[in-house]
Amino acid sequence: MFEARLVQGNLLKKVLESLKDLLTEASWDCADTGIQLQAMDNSHVSLVSVQLRADGFDKFRCDRQLSMGMNLTSMSKILRCAANDDIITIKAQDQADNVTFVFESPNQEKVADYEMKLMNLDQEHLGIPETDYAAVIKLPAAEFQRIIKDLSQFGESVVISCTKEGVKFSAAGDIGVGNIKLAQTASVDKEEEAVTIEMQEPVTLTFACRYLNMFTKATCLAPQVTLSMSPEVPLVVEYKIGDMGHVRYYLAPKIED
């Protein structure tokens, strides 16, 4: 028996919004420690890793490990039937071929349940090496979204360059060149408005705008986003899911021939 109840159901709605453009199907791996998802997009350029810890749920029961393969487009359609303040419960029997989503209004006066077929997905899991990143940049998630949106007008790629002075985002194309520089904030009233940079060595990498734009669908999840970069390795873009986990996107860089 698997059952996970989340009073803050809108977190799950937001997680799905942040996945559905990148992935059409994926497996949710459930264990007594929580729920995890790891999947690459079809082109193997990006990977999404989601973690939802058991202790972040209001009730969590997972008697035996199970992998629930889901069509994320369908799951997203179902979650869109939940109101933002609904309590969401996910339920499945052991070795079941379907999953049930229950949405309860806060006053318990409306209860809806939706059943969805599970899929048998033969998914390969990737081992992501532990990496000490050369530069770790934290910035407001909305600011990052804006920068990527703005620079996407100029070209297909964004160059992210991190130095002691700050971080620079650049794009070039037919209409011209765009550069956006962010300095580390000296002092801020609110922690979530800060730009912080931890840098061991300067890094410059080039990434496809198309993917970065899809990652920013997770902006609704967290006030801050963390970018981790090292020379010639994939970028990590991380959004926290409340205090229960994270959505992490990995993106392979563009490499000079």
Partner 1 sequence: MSRQATLDTFFAVR
Least separation, in Å, of the C-beta of 89 and partner 1? 31
Which is closer to partner 1, CB of 104 or CB of 238? 238
Are the C-beta atoms of 203 and 159 separated by less than 8 Å? Answer: no
Least separation, in Å, of the C-beta of 209 and partner 1? 12
Which is closer to partner 1, CB of 99 or CB of 227? 227
Least separation, in Å, of the C-beta of 183 and partner 1? 27
Return d(Cα 69, Cα 35) in angstroms, integer: 13
Return d(Cα 233, Cα 219) in angstroms, integer: 23
Residue 82 CB neighbours (<10 A): 21
The β-bridge relationship of strands 203-208 and 196-199 is unpaired
Give 182's contacts (C-beta < 8 A, 6+ positions apart).
139, 143, 166, 167, 168, 169, 195
Least separation, in Å, of the C-beta of 213 and partner 1? 15
Return d(Cα 203, Cα 161) in angstroms, integer: 6
Which is closer to partner 1, CB of 8 or CB of 170? 170
Which is closer to partner 1, CB of 234 or CB of 245? 234
Which is closer to partner 1, CB of 142 or CB of 159? 159
Are the C-beta atoms of 241 and 11 separated by less than 8 Å? Answer: yes
Least separation, in Å, of the C-beta of 146 and partner 1? 24
Cα dihedral: 182, 188, 194, 196 (round 10): 80
Least separation, in Å, of the C-beta of 31 and partner 1? 16
DSSP structural state of residue 54: G
Which is closer to partner 1, CB of 84 or CB of 127? 127
Contacts 24+ apart (CB under 8 A), 35-39: 35/4, 38/123, 38/125, 38/126, 39/123
Residue with tokens 């995890």: 36
Q: Which residues bind partner 1 (CB under 8 A)?
A: 40, 43-47, 124-129, 157, 206, 208, 233-234, 250, 252-257
Least separation, in Å, of the C-beta of 168 and partner 1? 18
Which is closer to partner 1, CB of 100 or CB of 123? 123
Residue 242 CB neighbours (<10 A): 15
